[in-house]
Amino acid sequence: MQTPAPLEYERATSVAGAIESLAKLGPTARLVAGGHSLIPMMKLRLAQPEHLIDINDLDELDYIERHGDQVRIGALTRHVTLLNSDLLWELFPIFREAEQVIADPAVRNRGTIGGSLCQADPGEDLSAVCEALKADVVIRSADGERTVAMTEFHVGPYMTAVGAAEMLTEVRLKIRPGAGTAHEKLERRAGDFAIAAASVGLWIDGGQIADAGIALAAVGPFTIDAKKAQEHLIGKAPGEPLFAEAAEIASTEAMPGADGRGPVDYKRHLTGVLTKRALIRAAARALHQEA
């Protein structure tokens, strides 16, 4: 039976305390909440932290709240809370759609949005969701807070903008009129990582697309911000021909590799299909909001 390497364990009682421990212990320390990604990596010795800081008691980071024109989500908010949130369903239904196809109830009951984003797995759904919604994240250290756009949060495969003595504490979503969102994913079996997935946010004003977000998961070494496809949409009237063009562009921005889930050409084709479906559904929701 595979077991992690020996390590020291502590249970944090406050955000400030967790950050203090990170600063004191240095890069050999890791935070853990749900642990569904970190613990398996530790068992395989792919991750070997010398210190583990348990943050499960930090209830101050477990919330979904509206603040003016923002929705703020604490980093320790569980998947099941995101799934069942009426506020998110009303404003950003993409979250419920994504959560319905993330893993299984056991994982959703313990896993957190902060853990998902910080793992930076290229096949992870919530990273694509937050990137498509043009979210910001709050990163805290002993020196204060800084805000980073999701498009700049992932700096490489399994790498984020969070420093060694820093902690992701919050996700912020701007509420804008005429919004529509959707998530599409194909998996081999329920709860599996995606073969490909596409998250879409559209904002329609006066019958034209004022802004767009398209993020792709599982078709590259990191979550892909499909910038060219987004640019193709802005300023144009929504419609299936336009969405087909944007989806084709998104498929060229994907960087899939061949593996047990399929060859490169299949994954590119699938990326286009899923992106088009998500665009059509997001536009329908945006037009309903505008009406």
**Of the ranges 57-71, 141-155, 182-196, which one carries the lowest mean pLDDT score?**
182-196
CA separation for the pair 202, 208 (Å, rounded) = 10
Predicted TM-score (pTM) of this structure: 0.93
In contact, 91 and 133? CB cutoff 8 Å: no
Q: What is the CATH number of the domain that holds 273?
A: 3.30.390.50
CA separation for the pair 181, 279 (Å, rounded) = 8
57 CB neighbour count, 10 Å cutoff: 12
Q: What is the predicted pLDDT for the residue at 1?
A: 52
Count of domains observed in the chain: 3
**What residue numbers bound the domain in which 281 lies?**
179-290
CA separation for the pair 280, 275 (Å, rounded) = 9
In a domain, 78, yes or no: yes
Residue 3, exposed/middle/buried by CB under 10 A (0-12, 13-18, 19+)?
A: exposed
Q: Are 101 and 160 contained in the same domain?
A: yes
Mean pLDDT confidence for 220-240: 97
97: helix, coil or strand?
helix
In a domain, 79, yes or no: yes
Phi first, then psi: give them for residue 189, nearest 5 degrees: -150, 160
CA separation for the pair 66, 250 (Å, rounded) = 32
How many helices (H) and strands (E) the chain has is answered by: 12, 14
Q: How high does pLDDT run on average in the chain?
A: 93
